Structure 1
Amino acid sequence: MRDKAKSKKKSRIRLLHQYYSYTGFYSFVWNSLKKAVLPILLFVGALWAIDHFFLDIEKMLVTVTETYAPFEVLSIFFISESLLGLIPPELFIAWAGKSSKPFLFLTLLATGSYLGGVVSYWIGVSITKIPAVHEALEVKMAKHIKNTRKWGGFLIIVGALLPIPFAMTSIAAGIIRFPFLSYLTFGLLRYARFYLYALVIFEMV
């Protein structure tokens, strides 16, 4: 019985592997990783250059933390993450690194990003009820929607972990009515992204 169960599990894994290979999922992830590396390196390099040649980033971030209330910064970030990720999360992670409670605010940022994705998901669900908006987004986000239909949860995992606009992936998930509880589960990896990025950014600032 155990051997049969193991055999079925291996067969399922093999079939999934073949499916993702055939549909180009691995190529998509690899290309996304390659695209992600350059912006990350540029951001880290820009931080180093600005800090050494133009202004004291540490002092600037401390000034921001002293000038603006955490609620204001977190609110701006939440709005950004709910609307297509307009501002790079790395800037806010750097801000958290210079706050009075770095890991608390980092966790609040991760939570804001996660909840912003939930808002985006329901935006995706809602716009399907507005024909004109739905048609416009079907064209503008055709690739995201097509990929989400093909790969579902795996694309949400990639969107949560990599520098791919998580809001766009979430809107696409809402448009295709991807199971909400599954979306919430996969989206939790958003926390891993913030903590991993913080390991580098906190050292830089």
Structure 2
Amino acid sequence: MNRQGFLLQNLLKGLAWFALLVVVYLVVKRYVDVDYLDWLSPIYEKPLYVFSIFTVSEVVVGIIPPEVFMIWSLREGVAAIYISNVLILAALSYAAGVIGYFIGSYLNQTQFYKALEKNFFGKYTTYLDEYGGFLIIVAALTPLPFSGICMLVGAVKYSFKKMLLFSLTRFIRFSAYAYVIWAAHNF
């Protein structure tokens, strides 16, 4: 598969997941007469906790999709607060990629990393061989595990400067998704 096909395939998967999430959000917002965040209120009202959970999730290969945290950022309903929260989330995600890179570069000879590679990252090694740094861009824009891909490129000693540069596309994803979530919230 060529680069464009690889990007398109993964982008379509991501957009399908994102569309489903937005539809569920709209349905719950419009038709469910329950504050669906009541059970989260001990954490929901404490941004430091939420940002900490997000950071751990991102470093541990994106356990919770970033879009869930973007929806959390809507809690005030104020555009400036929403934008600043999404910028913080994007910066934390970018930082998680950098952390992933260093984890990969320092732990690449350990049994722990070998287990991760065998169980989680093995198929991405083939993509890295085939697409090189383009894989970082695809991971930054799609549901591929961004931090995990950064860990993989760190393990093979890929250029740190190029990884930092290509990872900036993570901000594009956050900006585009945040805009759609804001529009859906105000729909």
Per the TM superposition, whether the score is higher than 0.5 is yes
Q: Give deviations 1:72-93, integer Å, cap 9, x for gaps.
A: 1111111111111011100111
Q: Give deviations 1:143-184, integer Å, cap 9, x for gaps.
A: 112212332221111111122221121111112111111111
Residue 183 of structure 1: which of 154, 160, 163 is its match? 163
Residue 155 of structure 1: which of 110, 129, 135 is its match? 135
Secondary structure of the corresponding residue to residue 98 of structure 1? helix
Unaligned runs of 5+ residues in structure 1 are 1-22
Q: 1:10 aligns to what?
A: none
User: Any conservation in 2 of the 1:128–1:175 contact (CA below 8 Å)?
Assistant: yes
Secondary structure of the corresponding residue to residue 167 of structure 1? helix
Q: 1:30 aligns to what?
A: 8
User: Any conservation in 2 of the 1:65–1:95 contact (CA below 8 Å)?
Assistant: no
Secondary structure of the corresponding residue to residue 62 of structure 2? coil
TM value normalised by structure 1: 0.79
Q: 1:12 aligns to what?
A: none
Unaligned runs of 5+ residues in structure 2 are none
**What is the rounded CA distance, in whole Å, between the counterparts of 1:80 and 1:106 in structure 2?**
16
User: Any conservation in 2 of the 1:145–1:176 contact (CA below 8 Å)?
Assistant: no
Residue 75 of structure 1: which of 30, 35, 52 is its match? 52
1:97 Cα shift? 2.4
1:126–1:55 CA distance, 2 compared to 1 (3 A): farther
User: Taking every aligned residue pair, what percent have the same amino acid on both sides?
Assistant: 31
Query: What is the CA RMSD across the aligned residues, in angstroms?
Result: 2.3
Q: 1:92 aligns to what?
A: 69
Q: Give deviations 1:104-149, integer Å, cap 9, x for gaps.
A: 111111001000111111111122131x234323323121122123
> Which amino acid counterpart does residue 133 of structure 1 have in structure 2?
F
User: Any conservation in 2 of the 1:157–1:186 contact (CA below 8 Å)?
Assistant: yes
User: Any conservation in 2 of the 1:117–1:166 contact (CA below 8 Å)?
Assistant: yes
Secondary structure of the corresponding residue to residue 86 of structure 1? coil
User: Are residues 1:135 and 2:123 paired?
Assistant: no
Runs of 4+ in 1 over 3 A off after TM superposition: 63-67
TM value normalised by structure 2: 0.85
**What is the rounded CA distance, in whole Å, between the counterparts of 1:52 and 1:71 in structure 2?**
29
Secondary structure of the corresponding residue to residue 87 of structure 1? coil
> Which amino acid counterpart does residue 195 of structure 1 have in structure 2?
S
Structure of higher RCO (CA pairs closer than 8 Å, 6+ residues apart): 2
**What is the rounded CA distance, in whole Å, between the counterparts of 2:166 and 2:145 in structure 1?**
15
**What is the rounded CA distance, in whole Å, between the counterparts of 2:85 and 2:160 in structure 1?**
27
1:56 Cα shift? 5.6
User: Any conservation in 1 of the 2:14–2:143 contact (CA below 8 Å)?
Assistant: yes
> Which amino acid counterpart does residue 197 of structure 1 have in structure 2?
Y
Count of aligned residue pairs for this structure pair:
180
Q: 1:4 aligns to what?
A: none
